[in-house]
Amino acid sequence: YGITNNLTVGVGVIPLFLFDGTSSPIWITPKFSIPVVKDKFNVGVGGLLGTVLGEEETGFGILYGAFTVGDRNRNLNVGVGYGYFDGTLADRPVINISGMLRLSPKFYLISENYIIQDVGLISLGGRVNFRKVSLDFGLYTVTEIFESGSFAAVPLISVGIPFGNPAE
């Protein structure tokens, strides 16, 4: 879903305001992509542009370029971008390696992974598509935890509500 078949926009919020009025990050995620070879290879550019409601001078985000190999049922995405905070661009890039594999008509196995400076942020989860909404769930951990000989992970739950034009 999106504005056109090549231009999508997403919005997000971590609703911390529900917990004692805490400041909450919000963001918008525009992305422009072009199929180089339909259902086999896409290239795109995009960004995540955000702020924290209830705080002053908290602009953050990332500007990136990416390519995707595969189709809607099975794909691998690799991206490189530069993050920023309060108008200052990072001196080193962020690398993203993600993938998705459809296991049934409504269920996908998903993984979204980042290398930020010298730290890896890795995840494994699932996506369930319902008629008008999708639910992502999974666990995130950092590679430094493995080096310490222990394991800890943070749960992720995300709800996606499509709007705009249906994709082809």
Q: Is the pLDDT of residue 1 over 70?
A: no
Mean of pLDDT values over 145-159: 81
Higher-scoring residue by pLDDT: 72, 2: 72
Using only C-alpha atoms, the chain has a radius of gyration, in whole angstroms, of 17
- Closest Cα to residue 6, out of 28, 29, 32? 32
Q: What are phi and psi of 114, to 5 degrees?
A: -130, 145
Written as six digits, the tokens of 132 are 């008008």
Whether 21 is in a domain gets the answer yes
Per-residue pLDDT at 168: 46
Whether 86 is in a domain gets the answer yes
Query: Based on the structure, what is the number of domains in the chain?
Result: 1
Mean of pLDDT values over 87-95: 93
Whether 129 is in a domain gets the answer yes
Give residue 60's domain range: 7-160
Higher-scoring residue by pLDDT: 98, 119: 98
Whether 1 is in a domain gets the answer no
CA atoms within 13 A on the CB side of 55: 15
Buried residues in 134-164 as b, exposed as e (16+ CB within 10 A): eebebebbbeeeeeeeeeeeeeeeeeeeeee
Whether 81 is in a domain gets the answer yes
Per-residue pLDDT at 165: 59
CATH number at residue 34: 2.40.160
